[in-house]
Structure 1
Amino acid sequence: MNIKFFSLITIIVAVGCKNIDSEIQKETSQNKEIDSIKIVMDANVAPFLKDSSVTSISIGIYKNGKESIAHYGEMDPGKGNLPTNATLYEIASVTKTLTGTVAAQAVLDSKLNLDDDIRKYLKRKYKNLEYNGHPILIKHVLTHTSRLPSNNEGVDELFKNRDDSLFIKFNEIEKKLTKEKFYNYLQKITLDTIPGTKYRYSNVGANLMAHILETVYEKPFISLLNEIVLDKAGMINTKMNLSEEESSVLVNGYDDQDNLMPHLPLGNTLWGADGGLKSTMPDLVKYMKFQLESNDPAVNESHKKLYQEDPTEWIGYFWRIDENDEGIYYHHHGGSFGMNTYFFVYPEYDLGIAASTNSGGAKASSVLREVVDGLLDDLKPFGKKSIMRAISAKCYEDIDAGIQYYYQLKAENIDTYNFSDENELNRLGYKFLRQGKIKEAIKIFTLLVEEFPEASNPYDSLGEAYFENKNYELSMINYKKSLKLNPQNENALMMINRINELQEVK
């Protein structure tokens, strides 16, 4: 055999073997990474499945270009039926982020301008949709600063007087809605301040945005969702309205007492832009990839900061946007009477996290958020660790010892743990409060106030804990302090009025 030819074959085989070895090593490394993510998911979910407020949890993670999905618990109490990749969850208000992406595309297409008066796109006359000559602009709707009501006509009144029949009454109102009734309600609204100056979460605003998008594109809103987001992201199992077959894999929702809850009727009567989408965990992972790696112009536009709430928090095109010394991230929570979903994307870490449970209510929401925070804490490649997680176990053993441990860690490991985010202690305080451990909550919120004396929210939280403890005098003091630091704190104002009413009755 020709020596040169033999040498060439040898080189080709050697290079081929090297490439195969490289691919094997790469695949092994990827498998190890996926296995390590699965271990992290198992570890973070395990303690929370013991909590009676959740029955099942599905988690999706997109990290460094790799997908990991896991399901835990049982969809229906006592039946042992594990969620699967085919299980559909109501993602509720996470829907708004997709609505925002469609709006972002409309801005890029010059169909909309952020500074447009919304009445430009409404057929009827709406002289009421302004305050002292200041109209509602497109950007005000997208950032929940329009001052439109939170919910459709009659719903806000229900939430002021919560009782066990709330979900029944809510569904009765929503099922009877029509677009004609929606337009009529818009004409009854009276704004209470200049749009763009105060935040108030508005489902009405999200549906109004869907109407405006239909107007400028002359297409149904669901078609726009498909074209601009769902088809591009490959989210083939994310739907607004379900067929009979699809409805069979829509998971049942439960409250924290394991009572079966009805599914939201959103999307059947109005546009569903506020919270009508149902999705699977694999599709939510595809949505993470779309957010992190697509380089789609509409995605980038939707991430722009349009309204600043405080030094570290903004709102984009319906996105919640947070930024700290570790970078920026985008997120949204979706909650219904029987489900909760959290969706986060962290570009700095090339990481996306979604978690869903078919349990509704504040307790389940709190549990699920802790799972997400734990996953982030374990998976992020750099940055400070959660101080809440570090002291939580000790606080449950002995609240005073836990607080002393906090001071110890701050003195000895200030660069290791995140002491700069007031939400760390705030979440721990609410964890105690929702479990009926009011005295422990008061001690954590007192620590929070000491650590962040110039922030409004810590006083609001401490005021709530004192209110739950029926110490109305101290509750009033803290709510007033919160309102002084943030005159736009509507919750503090509402609670001050409520305490005054209770004291008048006495």
Structure 2
Amino acid sequence: MQPIASVSKTVVGLALLKAQELGLLNLDAPVNKYLLFPVVNPAFPDVPITLRHLATHTSGIRDNDFYLSKNYYLRPGQDVQGSLAFEDMQTFIPADSVVSLAVFLHNVLTPTGKWYQAKGFLARRPGALYDYSNVGTSLAAYVVELASKQPFPTFKARYLTRPLHMRASGWRFADVAFVRHARLYASPAVPLPYYEQATYPDGGVRSSIADLSK
């Protein structure tokens, strides 16, 4: 098994639809109806961002500098010296420095957050322009978590992986048989360390070919 990266967003989309089917949320409702902190585009403070905007990458939420530097963290117990560059921008941080999804989103998306940047929002009306957003996807998953009153991985397991008997899939190393996990490489001679993400919903699913085909 290995990380399936942004294909993980398919799982978030399914979770949103399932949550709406269960009557837990409405895709056209403002996200602030469900959140514990307000998320507002500073250029359009009176225009609500909806779940549909998040799902279709039209929310105007962008991945700011701190998404690239505070998001990928090392699996404990690896012999790695310092932080390692990833794709020339992202860096790995120690496991003891990780924050929860809720804390990360609050700090990136609200003006009182320590990682907030105005450029984290497009100067375009929500719903007007497609702009790919990892943070927006993770915010959608967090809404599912709040609306369902259960951790997002628990919701996903209950309504997706268990019914489909996807026994080799999970968000965290703790959810899967690590001995079966593939080793990733930056180049043929340079292995990447094992890592997870604070914003795990946008790219953290680990799965096998057999499971993913289901």
Question: What is the aligned partner in structure 1 of residue 99 from structure 2?
Answer: 177
Report if aligned partners of 2:153, 2:171 keep a CA contact under 8 Å in 1.
Answer: yes
1:137 corresponds, among 50, 56, 76, to: 50
Report if aligned partners of 1:155, 1:173 keep a CA contact under 8 Å in 2.
Answer: no
Aligned letter for 1:166? A
Deviations 1:310-334 (A, max 9, x none): xxxxxxxxxxxxxxxxxxxxxxxxx
TM-score, length-normalised on structure 1?
A: 0.35
Question: What is the aligned partner in structure 2 of residue 281 from structure 1?
Answer: 209
Question: What is the aligned partner in structure 2 of residue 97 from structure 1?
Answer: 10
The alignment-based identity, stated in percent, is 26
SS at match of 1:131: coil
Give the aligned length: 190
Give me the whole-angstrom Cα distance separating, in 1, the residues matched to 2:59 and 2:98: 25
2:19 corresponds, among 106, 127, 133, to: 106
Summarize the Cα distance change of 1:284–1:205 in structure 2 as closer, same or farther, 3 Å threshold.
same
Aligned letter for 2:85? L
Summarize the Cα distance change of 1:99–1:130 in structure 2 as closer, same or farther, 3 Å threshold.
farther
Report if aligned partners of 2:41, 2:60 keep a CA contact under 8 Å in 1.
Answer: no
Give me the whole-angstrom Cα distance separating, in 1, the residues matched to 2:171 and 2:204: 6
Give me the whole-angstrom Cα distance separating, in 1, the residues matched to 2:62 and 2:33: 20
Summarize the Cα distance change of 1:115–1:245 in structure 2 as closer, same or farther, 3 Å threshold.
closer
Higher helix proportion: 1
1:122 corresponds, among 35, 44, 50, to: 35
TM-score, length-normalised on structure 2?
A: 0.77
Summarize the Cα distance change of 1:173–1:205 in structure 2 as closer, same or farther, 3 Å threshold.
farther
Deviations 1:111-132 (A, max 9, x none): 2222111111111244446625
Give me the whole-angstrom Cα distance separating, in 1, the residues matched to 2:175 and 2:29: 41
1:229 corresponds, among 151, 160, 168, to: 160
Question: What is the aligned partner in structure 1 of residue 109 from structure 2?
Answer: 186
Deviations 1:387-415 (A, max 9, x none): xxxxxxxxxxxxxxxxxxxxxxxxxxxxx
Summarize the Cα distance change of 1:122–1:202 in structure 2 as closer, same or farther, 3 Å threshold.
same
| Correspondence 1:253 to 2:174 | no
Report if aligned partners of 1:115, 1:137 keep a CA contact under 8 Å in 2.
Answer: yes
Aligned letter for 1:134? V
Bigger Rg over Cα: 1
Q: Per chain length, whose mean CA-contact separation is higher, i.e. which structure has more relative contact order (CA < 8 Å, sep 6+)?
A: 2
Give 5+ residue unaligned stretches, structure 1.
1-87, 157-164, 288-506
Question: What is the aligned partner in structure 2 of residue 478 from structure 1?
Answer: none
Question: What is the aligned partner in structure 2 of residue 213 from structure 1?
Answer: 144
Question: What is the aligned partner in structure 1 of residue 59 from structure 2?
Answer: 146
Q: How does 1:197-212 map to 2 (within 5 A)?
A: 197-212=128-143
Deviations 1:216-262 (A, max 9, x none): 11011111111111112110110112249821221111123431112
Deviations 1:16-59 (A, max 9, x none): xxxxxxxxxxxxxxxxxxxxxxxxxxxxxxxxxxxxxxxxxxxx
Summarize the Cα distance change of 1:279–1:244 in structure 2 as closer, same or farther, 3 Å threshold.
closer
SS at match of 1:135: coil
